[in-house]
Amino acid sequence: MKTAPPTAAAPAPPPVRFDPLLLCAVLGLVSLGLVMVYSASAVLAQDKLGDSLYFLKRQLSAAGMGLVGMAVMMKLGWRRLARLAYPLLLLAIVLLIAVAIPGIGTTAGGARRWIRLPGFSLQPAEIAKFAWVVYLSYSLAKKREKVATFSIGFLPHLALCGILVLLCMLQPDFGSSVLLVFMLFVLLFAAGTKLSYLVGSVLLALPMAYIAIATSPYRMKRILAFLDPWAHRHDVGYQVAESLMSIGSGGVTGLGLGDGRQKLFFLPEAHTDFIFSILGEETGLIGVGLLVLLYGVVLWRGVRASLAAGETFGTYLGLGITSIIAFQATVNMSVAMGLLPTKGLTLPFVSYGGTSLVVLMGAAGVLLSLSASAQGAVNRPVRTGSDVRGVTA
Amino acid sequence: MRDFKAARAPEPNAKWLKLRVQLLFGLFLTLLGTAFARAVFLQVFEQEKLRGLAQDQYVRQIEIPARRGDIFDRRGTPLAQSVEVDSIWVDPSLLPDVRAASRAMARVLKVDADELFGRLTRAKRFAWVKRQAKPQDVDAIKELGLPGLGFTKEPKRFYPQRELAAHVVGLVGTDGHGLEGLELAFEDELSGQNSRLSGFRDAKGRKLLVQGALDPLERQGASVTLTLDRHLQYVAEKALAKAVEESRAVAGTAVVLDPRTGELLALANNPRFNPNAPEGGDRGAIRNRAALDTFEPGSTMKSFVMAAALDQKLITADSTFFCENGAWPVGRHTINDTHPHGNMNIEGILQVSSNIGTAKVANVLGRERLVAAYHAFGFAERTGLALPGEGRGVIPFPKADVALATQSFGQGMTATAVQVAAGYGALANDGVLMRPYLVSKVVDPDGVVLLENQPTELRRVVSAKTARQVVGMLESVVTKGGTAPRAAMAEYRVAGKTGTAQKADPVARGYSDKRIASFVGVVPAEAPRAVILVVVDEPKTDVYGGLVAAPAFKEIATAAMAHLAVPPSRTVAPPEGVAAAVPLAPPPASKASAKAAPIKAALAEAVTETPEPGTVRVPDVQGQAGRDAVVQLLAAALEPQVLGSGRVVSQTPAAGSMVEKGARVTLELATRQ
């Protein structure tokens, strides 16, 4: 892997300096995740599989693969991703279709989300998120000022997003769908799409979202549970109520690593979607503060690297990746703390989940390679000011 | 595809792009900050509430039942004990096939499979399979290897002496709470404090750990020590059972009381029941008649009438009364004696148990003084034995002349057996009534005495002189001309009184031909150590106390005197002798026993020659059942030590050898080969 053939066209770059702070933050999150995955899953793994280390081992090997992926991305550099935009998107769509086929996709917890391969299982939605950001960044950068137009800049992306969302909802995977839509809006906004289009489509989507929720008892229940988890704590609000109790129990200093009680089968998905609850219980506000700080650093340094990219593609790419991380982290924590209805989004770098971790670490590699860019596109003085404002009108 | 690197086109809206990215950055920071603020709110301000809610679900109070305290006889022999027994339970939700599992378990436990299946399907996460199971059942169930099975130690009540004193001790229900007798009366003390412990559980309801080890003493109930003597209790129950069986009576009661202290040494009832398996017995058999039931005592009351009249100097020992030749009209009624008598002194009236004579003494005494005398002897008031539902008895004021007459011979009033025995105890104790008691001590596991009964003088009822006088007169009862020669003992002076009461017929309103036969004796008469009352309810063969109850009295008294190591009253016994049943111990010249009482050799053997004070001859117990051998040795004031079970195959020292009282005799037992 290390010996990737150097591209002839590549100019010899000055000594590459990756952002050490960003690197530390990502590695810190991954390490924290490994500790928490073990703590949250040991009892469950011992009980169900007879091996308390089962989930830790799998997460460790994923982290190893993620490190390789990160190194490869850092070495390759973000610019090469432009060429991969279409192949990646195609791969994501194929995988999303494949997972919907009963023989290929495996079902767990009422959703068909995984493709079981020898040794590991693949979660196509996690790949789709990354592919979508790469594609959008490439497409928006390519279209440049035409981004502002409805038919070229807005509609095609919206349509493609619709297809991906549709595929995700086949599983169903509401959380990933929301993330895909959110990424579209973030990047369209950054690229300068008219705000009226964005606001308008949100207003249009509201009634549809309402219908989607009201017609699905499963989504309706989630809303009910969100609105008053205590009233539903024995059925639909169970998870959230348990999560709140878990986090609240932690207090400022926490019960101590491994000493949490809620993971003793009270809290379902303690090592995946609700790992934040266990972190809150065992490490308290201090641990939560550290986690938020690490995400804050990733966000800060990610945005900084995006702006330093020197090209719009890089900026979009960096912003998209940073947004995926920040959005998922915020939503996951908010769900665990009862601020948002249950979504099914994992805590990036921390939650158990091989595909997610490998993809996210690869994406972090992209961010790091952005941070190493010599100059920032946005800081560079504008050479030709001819059509700066005209086209946007 | 366009090459980006080559293009490097100027970025037209770079400023705006930077601004918008920074806007988004601000938005994300705000969201992250909001999440953190929420965490602060939950973990600082809501912490207590949420932690409490969480603890409610994973901290479970586990109630650990205290080990129930033991009940001992006066010598520390356990009458009721608690043992830890395995109980089997199951979490039915973990069973793959509840029907197959219940069928398999039912086959092992030999219970109804459908009933078990019903219980397992009704329960969600916990159902008893078998409480207090036998060890082999537990092993067999374990071998089935079913998932979800659990085993818990539960204390089970065990009565090592089986039927012995079962009526007094009572019994507990399957939940371990007292249902009857002292088990019920001392429920609070015996059951102790159940300890509540905080244990963690997981969401599946499994106990995870218990904080801290338990000091077993801390969860043990207090122990109760009784005044009963296991050996005397056994002798009394055996003798009573024989009396009831031989007279084909419906029930019987025997009381042995130490008149000097008021301690009840034995309190026997018949029919008996086995408290280890109470399901089979009917409720009547469980009833502690001696303390609970009242009955019309009959002629045994006459002694109190005489004592009161003598004490108040209304009569003297030499006063004579005309006994009307057996029939004395009082109002519209006629008082009858069993045999016609003419003029008789007080001793004579007691000796033949003349109703007419006693009624005339009662006339001299008067209504108020008669009732007062009965009350003074402790009648119509609860003795306070601490047994639940203890009888009180009633003495209605005798308005009619005939009522005064009948009450003087114990009809038209009721009393409990313990009251009668205690009353005689007052006569035997030089006129001082001691409070009868059954429980000597209640001690909690730390050694703190919760209750201690000491001998308590209730009151002086009559003077010592009067008491001795009456006891002396009562010695005539067991002589040849008295009503109970069968109660006479070879080596001890016996003072006693028979009673043959008519039973009131609740249906016909009057007296039926059913009788309650009783005998109460004081032994030895010159320095009383025991008051023994035997009551036989509805005997069918003979109805007289002197015939039905007196032999049982003698049997108990013989064993009691030996057991209490009471020096004999006399060395020369009545003339008639009988051959000893034991050939290895040839009967010495002085050896004798009452011909009239066909008492089995085993107990009669208790009294042998008295060559030197403090030594006894070892009886031959070869070939006897272990229990009988033990009784015989105890009766001979020897201390048996038993090895093995079954029948006696060897004994050391050998039969016939002279040893000191209280010496140890080792018995080797073996089952029949």
What is the per-residue pLDDT for B194?
65
Angstroms from A323 CA to nearest CA on chain B: 8
CB contacts of A280 in chain B (<8 Å) are 39, 42-43
Contact B16 A192 (CB under 8 A): yes
How near does any CA of chain B get to the CA of A233, in Å? Answer: 11
Structure-token pair, residue B220: 């043990």
Nearest to A378 among B1, B14, B25 (CB): B14
In angstroms, the separation between the Cα of residue B7 and the nearest Cα of chain A is 10
The pLDDT value given to residue B583? 40
Q: In this structure, are strands B127-130 and A111-117 parallel, antiparallel, or unpaired?
A: unpaired
Cα-flanking dihedrals φ and ψ of residue B322, to 5°?
A: -85, 125
ipTM value greater than 0.90? no
Provide the CATH number for the domain formed by B290-601 in this structure: 3.40.710.10
Mean pLDDT of chain A, nearest integer: 82
Q: How far is CA A37 from CA A126, A353, A360, B294, B392, in A?
A: 19, 10, 17, 77, 75
For residue B202, give the nearest of A252, A264, A388 by CB distance.
Answer: A264
* Per-residue confidence band for B1, with pLDDT thresholds at 50, 70 and 90: very low
Q: What is the mean pLDDT of chain B?
A: 81
CB contact (8 A) between residue A296 and residue B44: no
Q: What type of residue is B592?
A: A
User: What does the pLDDT look like over B4-44, one tens digit per residue?
Assistant: 444 444 455 677 888 889 999 999 999 999 999 999 999 99
User: What is the model's pLDDT at position B200?
Assistant: 56
Structural contact between residues A252 and B43, judged by C-beta atoms closer than 8 angstroms = yes
The answer to whether the CB atoms of B53 and A245 lie below 8 A apart is yes
For residue range B105-125, list pLDDT tens digits in order. 888 888 888 888 888 887 666
- The structural domains of chain B, with segments of one domain joined by +, span 12-45, 61-225, 290-601, 611-670
* CA–CA distance, B200 with B202 (Å, rounded to integer): 7
Bridge-based pairing of strands B327-330 and B223-226 is unpaired
- Nearest partner of B536 among B254, B235, B234, judged by Cα: B254
What's the CA dihedral at B648, B653, B654, B657 to 10 degrees?
A: -140
Tell me whether residues A266 and B202 touch, CB distance under 8 A.
yes
This model's pTM is above 0.90: no
A323:B28 CB<8 A: yes
- Interface touch A382/B58, C-beta < 8 Å: no
Among the partner-chain residues A288, A303, A383, the one whose CB lies closest to the CB of B39 is A288
- Contact (Cβ atoms closer than 8 angstroms) between residue B224 and residue B450: no
- pLDDT value at position B482? 87
Most A CBs within 10 A among B8, B11, B204, B206, hence the mutation to make, goes to: B11
What's the fold here for domain B611-670? Trypsin Inhibitor V; Chain A (3.30.10)
Dist CA A328 CA B23 (whole Å)? 18
Q: What is the mean pLDDT of residues B529-550?
A: 89
The whole-number pLDDT of residue B37 equals: 93
Span B611-623, average pLDDT: 70
What distance lies between CA A118 and its chain's CA centroid? 25
B43 interfaces chain A, CB cutoff of 8 Å: yes
- B chain contacts of residue A144, beta-carbon cutoff 8 Å: 9, 12
Note the pLDDT tens digit of each residue in B68-81: 888 999 988 889 88
Element (DSSP H or E) covering residue A140? helix A124-143
Which residues of chain A fall below pLDDT 50?
1-10, 13, 375-393
pLDDT in tens, A31-47: 999 999 998 888 878 87
What pLDDT score does A18 carry? Answer: 86
Q: Closest approach of chain A CAs to the CA of B87, in angstroms?
A: 25
Contact B516, B536 (CB under 8 A): yes
- Position B447 pLDDT exceeds 90: no
Range B462-467 contact pairs with CB under 8 angstroms and sequence separation of 24 or more = B462/B307, B462/B308, B462/B310, B462/B311, B462/B426, B462/B427, B462/B431, B463/B311, B463/B431, B464/B430, B464/B431, B466/B307, B466/B310, B466/B311, B466/B431, B467/B307, B467/B426, B467/B427, B467/B428, B467/B429, B467/B430, B467/B431
> So what's the pLDDT on residue B573?
45
Among residues B102, B223, B247, B299, which one is catalytic?
A: B299
Q: What is the pLDDT of residue B129?
A: 84
Told to judge if B354 belongs to the known catalytic residues of this protein, a careful annotator would answer no
What are the tens digits of pLDDT across the range A154-166?
A: 888 888 999 999 8
Interfacial B residues in 1-40 facing A (CB < 8 Å): 1-2, 4-5, 8-18, 20-22, 24-25, 28-29, 31-32, 34-36, 38-40
Put simply, the chain B residues between 442 and 481 with a CB less than 8 A from any chain A CB are none
pLDDT tens column, B337-390: 888 898 999 999 999 999 999 999 999 999 999 999 999 999 998 888 878 778
For residue B8, what pLDDT is reported? 45
- Window 500-519 of B, Cβ < 8 Å to A: none
Strands (E), B182-238: 195-201, 207-210, 223-226
Residues of chain A positioned with their CB less than 8 A from the CB of B16:
192
Q: Is A339 in contact with B35 (Cβ distance < 8 A)?
A: yes
User: Which carries the bigger pLDDT value, residue B558 or residue B572?
Assistant: B558
∠ CA B328-B348-B402, rounded to 5°: 30
Q: Among B4, B24, B50, select the one facing A249 at the smallest CB separation.
A: B50
C-beta atoms of B25 and A299 within 8 A: yes
Q: Averaged over B245-254, what is the pLDDT?
A: 91
pLDDT at res. B593: 40
pLDDT of residue B127: 77
- Inspect the interface and report whether the beta carbons of A311 and B202 lie closer than 8 Å: no
Query: How many Å is the maximal CA-CA distance in chain A?
Result: 69
Mutate to test the interface with A, among B21, B94, B204 (most CBs of A within 10 A): B21
CB–CB contact B18 A43 (8 Å): no
- Could you tell me how many CB contacts below 8 A there are between chain A and chain B? 171
Task: Chain A: give the shortest CA distance to residue B143, in Å.
Answer: 22
Chain B residues lying within 8 Å of A307, measured CB to CB: 18, 21
Are B43 and A266 in contact (CB < 8 Å)?
Answer: no
Which residues of chain A have a CB within 8 Å of the CB of B25?
A: 299-300, 303
Judge: A192–B20 Cβ closer than 8 Å, yes or no. yes
Write out chain B residues lying below 8 Å of A252, CB-based.
43-44, 47
| pLDDT of res. A359 | 94
- A262 or B394: which leads in pLDDT: B394
Q: Which one has a higher pLDDT value, B54 or A365? A: A365
Q: How confident is the model at residue B577 (pLDDT cuts 50, 70, 90)?
A: very low
pLDDT score of B613: 58
Q: Is B54 an 8 Å CB contact of chain A?
A: yes
Chain A: nearest CA to B105, how far in angstroms? Answer: 26
Query: Which of the listed CATH numbers 3.10.290.10, 3.30.70.141, 3.10.129.10, 3.90.1310.10 matches domain B61-225?
Result: 3.90.1310.10
B117, B234, B586, B645, B650 from B624: Cα distances, Å: 49, 17, 19, 11, 10
What the block records as the tokens of B608 is 């042998």
Q: Indicate yes or no: CB of B39 within 8 angstroms of CB of A387.
A: no
Chain B residues lying within 8 Å of A291, measured CB to CB = none
The verdict on a CB contact (< 8 Å) between A288 and B43 is yes
Across the interface, do A285 and B49 touch by the CB < 8 Å criterion?
A: no
Which residues in chain B have their CB less than 8 angstroms from residue A7's CB? Answer: none
User: How far B104 CA sits from the closest chain A CA (Å)?
Assistant: 26
Q: Are B61 and A360 in contact (CB under 8 A)?
A: no
pLDDT at residue B84 is higher than 50: yes
- Both tokens of residue B275? 């408290």
Query: What is residue A273's three-state secondary structure?
Result: coil
B98 Cα distance to chain centroid: 44
Overall average pLDDT of the B87-93 stretch: 79
Say yes or no to pLDDT of B332 above 60. yes
Q: Residues B122-147, buried b or exposed e (16+ Cβ, 10 A)?
A: eeeeebbbbebbeeebbeebeeeebe
3-state secondary structure of A131: helix
